[in-house]
Chain A
């Protein structure tokens, strides 16, 4: 990338970023209106990037089919349904089919993956003390066990009121909430410095060195 183009990119990024940020802090009609215009442009560009992303997905899977790479049959199925969904999406007469694709395919498949995740997590929890035997792992597993005991009544015995009324409340509202707030403050600070690096032109995720 030539130096002029890089300079132009950095200048545009810093100016637009700075103006959008200023719009959040200052109550000035001119700045706020300009911020709105920039945000609208950003939405349009993000929408275009989404289309490019879909094009990229199409191109990757088409290449897999052409080169007979492993999993090319899956790619063919994906492209077939991608085109079919696109066709149904653009044709108003097929609005009922759109609902069928969403409720009959997309949501059940996502739910199945979540169910798979639950099983995987149980497996990981069982293996945790083998892979990483330290105090944190023990505390982690004990907390899981207590919360599960508090949330799920056991057959015949029923619920453990001590866990569900006192211990769970203490863990959720004191320990977890406090810890989560601390972590979120840290993440907020990290986000601030990441944004500053981009605003100062030190990080240039838009390319160029």
Chain B
């Protein structure tokens, strides 16, 4: 029974998502400002004009588990910003701490590079696995930020509290930093360490919509809002029923 309920939720969500995408031409949703995502666009423009290098990271989430979903958001952002970043004299670098994410990032960054009118030959080594455990990954990223003369970092994916060390390394190089993680401990570390307020909670999943990836990302945000209100309603009704002794 629970399985069927789950299946029904997924099917209804898929239908709703498709309906919202189709109606997006008529409705013009406005979202509140999330400073870090507008900063991401600025970073990319800056590296393209200044000829410096940007570092993308999709973290070390396991794509076979729930932690991989934040990495997929990171990939969508790379796809959206990667083509513009590839215009820089120094092509972007992408790091990850997982074999599958590494392959996906290579594909996405290569697609972004080929999207340019006069693409430079894509260098496979610009996408790197720097370590296969969270600490090894961090230890590998620290020298990358220093040695590759990174001017901006966009890190969206699954990171643990060790991301504090990466933020500190970027600050030492005077490099810009945008970081978002689905891990609660990492979010609190980012809150303490970043200059701007980092994306908290599910704000990470809004990255695609705020960087104008495609209409599905905007529709996803609206769908999340609908579900959020439904959950709030269910919680309030549940609390009222419990209070009345009916549950």
Interface residues of A (CB under 8 A from B): 1, 21-22, 24-27, 42-43, 45-46, 48-54, 56-57, 59-60, 63, 69-71, 74, 109-110, 113-114, 116-117, 120-121, 123-125, 128, 131-132, 136, 140, 180, 182-187, 189-200, 202-203, 205-209
Contact = CB atoms under 8 A, between A and B. Distances in A.
- Is chain B's interface secondary structure helix, strand, loop, or mixed overall? helix
Interface string B1-43: 0011011001001100110000000000000000000000000
Contacts of A124: 164, 167-168, 189, 192-193
Interface residues of B, number: 78
A97 B7 CA distance: 50
A206 B104 contact: yes
Contact of A187 (B110, B147, B202): B202
Given A187-B201, A196-B220, A63 B99 contact: no
B102 interface: yes
B202 A207 contact: no
A194 B72 contact: yes
A45 B214 CA distance: 29
Given A49-B103, A56-B125, A121-B192, A209 B111 contact: yes
Interface centre among A113, A114, A128 (most CB of B within 10 A): A113
A112 to B, nearest CB: 9
B192 to A, nearest CB: 5
B69 A190 contact: yes
Contacts of A21: 10
B57 to A, nearest CB: 14
B128 A57 contact: yes
B63 A46 contact: yes
A117 B76 CA distance: 30
Nearest to A64: B147
A86 to B, nearest CB: 13
B165 A116 contact: yes
Nearest to A201: B216
Interface stretch (B45-53, B84-92, B130-138, B239-247): B130-138
